[in-house]
Every structure is written in structure tokens, then in C-alpha cells.
Amino acid sequence: MARRWLDQEHEIFREAFRRYVQKEIAPHIAEWDQQGQVPREAWLALGRQGYLCPWLEERYGGSGADFGYSVIIIEEIARAGALSFMVGLHSDIVTPYLHAFANEEQRQRWLPGAASGQSILAIAMTEPDAGSDLQAMRATASKDGEHYLLNGSKTFISNGQCCDLVIVAAKTDLQADPARGGISLLVVEEGAPGFVKGNKLKKMGLHGQDTCEMVFSDCRVPAANLLGREGRGFAYMMEKLQQERLVCAVMSQAAAEAMLRWTVDYCQERRIFGRPVGQFQHNAFKLAEMATEVELGRAFLDELIEDHMAGRDIVSKVSMAKWWISEMANRVAYHGVQLHGGYGYMEEYPICRAYRDVRVHTIFAGTTEVMKSIIAKRMGL
């Protein structure tokens, strides 16, 4: 099926970026996993090449490119097995909040750093007792002169250790329904009084991605760092979740395609009982099933990318894609490890790392179960 949102310029860009990934990112994946973090220089290098936030206007340091270029960047990083390098989170999930809801002074202050890699971004919604249920959050922000006093804790914050700027969701009106005006978004900068980053959390996968807790104790945030209007935070988050979940689906799909390719290659090369592993009927059928699911995911995803780029409402469909493609990627990972045999359990094989890394895809940005709940509600159930 033709990827109708792609043109020749996209393909030229893909080839250039793929070469960059193979030279500058792929050789360091294992090292970054051991370090538990992608180094700052890797972000700066992406920024120098124009690979961060390419959709931003030139006055903010971007290239004014369409969302298709972001898709290519996310895909190629995932296909290299570098799922811990959360470029999509920085460029296409967090930065759009600043672009859409910040005033011009704030945009001038924050967006150029996001494009250059000098300012790594994160977003803090999840709390120890409030995950997908954003209305249950307990963090509060009360006005104190020209500042807000922010109190509460956040957890599972990706890019949490390395971030220079984090968008924090907090209740600014304890009496209001959170969905109708009780939540606001505050931009907290590194070094703010009362802002403490906890230790990196030890995770099953994504070992090179720094995830941590954050604690805010009478954290003084300038009132000028309020993002958009007070009380509009919940609406802002709902508005941006469509692209967030599409980005996650892109990551899962690209990872599934890479895992299938690695497994097919292995099954053609590895011999057992005198013939390639892939020539045994059971294994050949399993690979055929995996290839079919991957192709179905690609066809559906490309349709959604095209619709999203056209500005269409795809909340229901993107919720379907987010859960189905992430679950499919986990099936491909499972069978990929199995078909690799003992080698699939070895760290030197990328299928081993990918098996761990894609497990969280069914959890972050809204679990599979939450996605199904959204779909059911929009069906009138």
C-alpha cells in the first residue's frame, strides 16, 4: 500500500537520517543502556543537524517541515533499536504544548532551546496514585503574589533526569471539577526552588531512558510560567493526546517491523537439523503470521498519519491503533525471541533488548484497557 503522505523529499530525508542513525546512534545503544541515560551531546548533535522539532517555524529554530518528517525520525530511531532515545517525546509530544498554548514571549524563551537540544523537555502528569485517571491527581499550585507554590509528586517521568524544563499538571482550583477548570499547566525550569528530581527508576526495559520521580515542595514557579489559561490544563491535555498516542503507535509499528526483519534474517541464516530454522513449516507459518500482522498495522497507521496531517479528528481510530499496534509489537517480540532460540535471550542480539523495551508500549500514554474504554465511550457504550 502506497504511503500517500510521503513524497520524494521525505524519502531523501529518510535516507540521510538513516545514515545519521547508523553512524551516530546505533553504535552507542548498548553503552547508553549501561549508563542509564542518553548523553547530552547526542541531543545537541541532533539539534545541530535540525533533527529536533523539525516542524517548528524557522523563527523558533525549526525548518517549518510537516509532521511526516517527525514520523520518519521516530521510525528510523525505533528501527535501529534505540527505543530509549525518546526524541519523539521531546519533539512531538511535549514541545507542541509550548507551541500551541504559550504566549509569544514564552515561545521565544523556550522553543529555540527545544530545537537546538540545549533544553530537553519532559511532561509530568502521572502521580503515584493517579495514572491514566488524570482527574485524580493531587498536586496543587496556589497563587502567592507573582508566583505559584507547587506541591506534590509525579512519577514515571520520561526524560526526567536530563530535562531542563518540565510541564507539570496541577490543581489550581480544589473546588472545581478537574475536567471543567480545576487543573492548570505550569512550566518548571531546572533549578527552581523546591523542585527535586528523584533517583532514576529501575525499569524492565528502556534502560537508556532516564525515568524518575519528581517532588515539588513549595516550589516557586513564576506566574509568567503558566501555560495558557489557568484552569484549562485538562482541556489542553485532551487536545494533545491524539498526537501523543499516534507517536506511540509509530514507535510500536517501526519496532515491530525491525523485530520481524531481524527474525527473518536470523531464521534464514541459522541452521538446525541440516536446514535453516525458517524452513520448518511451523516456523515459516509463524513468520507469515507475524508478517501479516505487521502489514495490517502499517496500512492502518499510514491512513491515520495522513488523516492527522490533514487535521482530522481521529481520536477513536488512534486509540485503536495505540492499543492494537502496541500489543501486536509485543506479540512479534515474543515470537521473535522464541524463533531466535537461546540467542534471543542474549543481550548481544537486538531482539532481546527490544523484547524488554516494547513491553511498556501497552502501558504508557494510556494503557490498552484505557484505550478500549475511550473507544467504547465514543461508540456510545
CA distance 333 to 344: 10
What residues contact residue 8 under an 8 Å CB cut-off, 6+ apart?
Answer: none
The domains located in the chain, with CATH, are 8-119 (1.10.540.10), 122-231 (2.40.110.10), 235-378 (1.20.140.10)
pLDDT in tens, 276-329: 999 999 999 999 999 999 999 999 999 999 999 999 999 999 999 999 999 999
Give residue 133's pLDDT: 74
Cell 518528517 found at: 69
Give residue 343's pLDDT: 96
Provide the whole-model pTM.
0.94
Give residue 119's pLDDT: 98
CA distance 99 to 115: 12
Distances (CA, A) of 228 to 114, 132, 183, 185, 223: 18, 23, 12, 8, 11
pLDDT in tens, 126-169: 999 877 777 788 999 999 999 999 999 999 999 999 999 999 99
Catalytic residue (one of 230, 244, 257, 293) = 244
Determine the straight-line distance between the first and last CA of the chain, rounded to whole angstroms. Answer: 33
Neighbours of 60 (CB within 10 A): 19
Give residue 265's pLDDT: 97
| DSSP state letter for 201 | P
Helix (H, G, I), strand (E, B) or coil at 69: helix
Gyration radius from the chain CA atoms: 21
Is 24 known to be catalytic?
Answer: no
Give residue 198's pLDDT: 92
Q: Alpha helix locations (H) across the chain?
A: 8-20, 29-35, 40-48, 67-79, 87-88, 95-101, 104-116, 233-269, 281-309, 315-340, 350-357, 368-378
The amino acid at residue 41 is: E
What residues contact residue 376 under an 8 Å CB cut-off, 6+ apart?
Answer: none
Low-confidence ranges of the chain (pLDDT < 70): 1-2, 178-179
Neighbours of 229 (CB within 10 A): 13
| Cell numbers representing residue 361 in the block | 508500549
Distances (CA, A) of 13 to 10, 23, 76, 174: 5, 15, 11, 48
Give residue 177's pLDDT: 76
